[in-house]
Structure formats: structure tokens, C-alpha cells
């Protein structure tokens, strides 16, 4: 890797079809890396076997290529930092867990789903994670842990240091400060043995020498947890930039079950990818009107500073057009 070279990435989960919002994030991440003359990595976050599907993974590759987004390293083309599928990286996660355990950062949590549901009315920590965990299992005696372990396999939680606030500068959202212990101690390995997103993404980005993480705004408040993990593992954290989410005209989240907004449906209906990219560029503030354009033609026009700092409502005009083209009145 060239000294100082930018390495960006897009890391979709193959749990459904890519929709317009996923395409928007992928486009911004790709343009950020290409504008800097850097490397773009595609990583498949298929760590959860119960939800991931190989058919979706293949569809992701096809849809991104149709849109005009390419990558230098990935699950289909290889590269020096593979494997690029989380399902094949279990040994790396176990090594990280072993280090965290040896350094005293982890503790077993035996709480049941019912017990965790009982804190649903408690003050929320991180929006994407739900209620803050109150630390019930953090100070159990060894005898109590042994007694509970006889009844239930534990999850592993990371014990947050409670002294300092976390402050970082986001490339889009600006300066972000989270109070000490924000969100509570979080799970790094589930009771069923599946490694949690927070740990996997840190290990992967560090192993793949990612310098710039451009991802959806809904992951902004996961960043403090990941910064704690980078520090605990002795790893250098990348720069972060969180892209505003595309939402429906009424402000509701986009749903993968709405076929009209999936890239697969757009391809099948004969919509030109340049038309989709033009609309995304208009929503980003890089074009005055949605004219057909290729991603490569936007490299000189992409500007993170022009992106809104709030959700972007998809215009009724765009949604109606997509549904009309897809045969949905």
C-alpha cells in the first residue's frame, strides 16, 4: 500500500436486495475513494448465517456493477487483505476476542431475552442499539458465573470505561461528542457464538487497512463503541463520514420489501442506471436537476460538504416514476 493512500470500502449485508438508499451510500463511498485516487474495497458482511443468503450476495455484485460502481478488491476479485467475506474470517475475530479477554475488557453476560426486554422502558443509549445495558452481569462473583453458566451459554460484553467522553470529527456530521459510557456495555459475541457487528467491522477495517469509512447515518452512534475497540486492540482508527439516509416522502424508513426502490427491480424494468445515478446526484446536491450521468462523471463534482445534515426525503416525483416503471400503479 502506498504511504498515505486512501482506502475506502462498501460493506453490504446480503440479507435482502439493495435499495435506493444503499445505492446512495455506495455511490458516496465510491466517489470519496476515487476522488482521492485511492483504492475501493467491497466486503460482504455475511457474518450472521441465519439472515445472510448467497443469492443476495451475488445480486449485490451484479447491481453495483450495473450502477457503474467497481472495486479493486473484493470477494469475487480477491486482493491482498482477503478473505472479503465475514463468514470466512472467524479466526481473525477469535484472535481479537482472545486479546480483549486477556486484557480484561470482556465479561460473560447470562441475561435472558426476557430480562433484557425488561429494560426496554429504561433510558436509551445508542439509538441503533436500543436501551443501555445496566451492567447486571458485570460484577458477578466467579461462583455466581459458574452457577449461571450451568444453565445458559453466555454472551460476551465489552466493559466500557466510564471516565471519558468520546469526541471525534465526522466528515459529514462534524464534531460529535458522546458522554462516558454511552449506550452501556455492548455485546461482542452472542450467546449462539455469532460475533457481533461492532467487533467484526473493527477487525475487518483494520485488517484491510481501511483509512476512510463512509457509511449510513444510522451507524453514526455506533462509532464510539468502535473507537473503544480500536483503542483496546491497539489499532489505528480510520476517518469516519456518515451519509444522510434516504427516506420515504412521509419520513419513514425505506423497506427492502418495497420492490420498486430496489436496484434489481430498476434493472428488470429497463431503467437506465445513468438515470438512477442522476437522481442520486441531485439528492446529494451535486446537480441542479436529475440529468442522466455515470458515477465516473461525478468524480470531479462530489463534495461531502454539500450533503444535507438530515434525512433526505425522496421526492414523490421520483417514487412515482420508479413505481410506474416497475409496473406498480
List the one residue out of 70, 3, 82, 78 whose CA is nearest residue 30.
70
For residue 140, give the 3-state DSSP assignment.
Answer: coil
Are 181 and 171 in contact by the 8 Å Cβ rule? The answer is no
Tell me phi and psi for residue 41, to 5 degrees: -115, 140
Are 228 and 166 in contact by the 8 Å Cβ rule? The answer is yes
Indicate which residues carry an active-site annotation.
256
- Per residue, the 3-state secondary structure of 237-303, as one string, reads CCEEEEECCEECCCCCECCCCCHHHEHHHHHHCCCCHHHHHHHHHHHHCCCCCCCCCCHHHHCCCCC
Name residue 44's beta-bridge partners.
85
One DSSP character per residue, 34-88 reads: HHTT-EEEE-B----TTT--HHHHHHHHHHHHHHT---SBBTTTB-TT---BGGG
Q: How far apart are CA 228 and CA 225, in angstroms?
A: 5
- Taken as a whole, the chain contains a residue count of 329
Q: How far apart are CA 148 and CA 135, in angstroms?
A: 16
Amino acid at each position: 500500500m502506498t504511504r498515505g493512500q486512501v482506502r475506502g470500502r462498501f460493506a453490504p449485508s446480503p440479507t435482502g436486495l439493495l435499495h435506493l438508499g444503499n445505492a446512495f451510500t455506495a455511490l458516496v463511498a465510491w466517489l470519496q475513494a476515487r476522488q482521492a485516487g485511492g483504492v475501493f474495497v467491497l466486503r460482504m458482511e455475511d457474518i450472521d448465517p441465519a439472515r445472510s443468503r448467497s443469492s443476495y450476495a451475488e445480486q449485490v455484485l451484479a447491481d453495483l456493477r450495473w450502477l457503474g460502481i467497481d472495486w479493486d478488491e473484493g470477494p469475487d476479485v480477491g486482493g491482498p487483505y482477503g478473505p472479503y467475506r465475514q463468514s470466512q474470517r472467524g479466526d481473525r475475530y477469535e484472535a481479537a476476542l482472545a486479546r480483549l479477554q486477556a486484557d480484561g475488557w470482556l465479561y460473560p453476560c447470562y441475561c435472558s431475552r426476557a430480562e433484557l426486554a425488561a429494560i426496554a422502558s429504561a433510558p436509551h443509549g445508542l439509538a441503533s442499539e436500543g436501551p443501555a445495558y445496566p451492567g447486571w452481569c458485570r460484577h458477578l462473583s466467579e461462583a455466581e458465573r459458574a452457577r449461571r453458566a450451568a444453565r445458559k451459554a453466555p454472551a460476551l460484553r465489552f466493559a466500557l470505561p466510564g471516565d471519558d467522553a468520546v469526541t471525534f470529527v465526522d466528515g459529514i456530521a462534524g464534531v460529535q461528542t458522546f458522554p462516558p459510557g454511552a449506550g452501556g456495555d455492548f455485546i461482542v459475541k452472542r450467546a449462539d457464538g455469532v460475533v457481533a457487528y461492532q467487533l467484526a467491522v473493527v477487525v475487518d477495517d483494520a485488517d484491510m487497512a481501511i483509512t476512510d469509512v463512509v457509511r449510513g447515518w444510522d451507524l453514526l452512534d455506533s462509532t464510539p463503541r468502535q473507537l473503544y475497540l480500536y483503542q483496546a486492540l491497539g489499532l489505528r482508527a480510520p476517518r469516519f463520514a456518515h451519509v444522510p439516509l434516504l427516506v420515504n416522502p412521509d419520513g419513514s424508513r425505506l423497506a427492502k420489501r418495497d420492490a420498486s426502490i430496489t436496484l434489481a427491480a430498476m434493472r428488470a424494468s429497463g431503467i437506465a442506471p445513468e438515470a438512477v445515478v442522476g437522481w442520486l446526484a441531485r439528492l446529494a446536491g451535486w446537480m441542479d436537476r436529475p440529468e442522466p450521468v455515470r458515477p465516473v462523471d461525478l468524480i470531479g463534482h462530489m463534495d461531502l460538504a454539500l450533503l444535507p445534515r438530515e434525512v433526505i426525503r425522496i421526492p414523490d416525483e421520483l417514487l412515482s416514476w420508479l413505481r410506474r416503471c416497475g409496473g406498480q400503479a
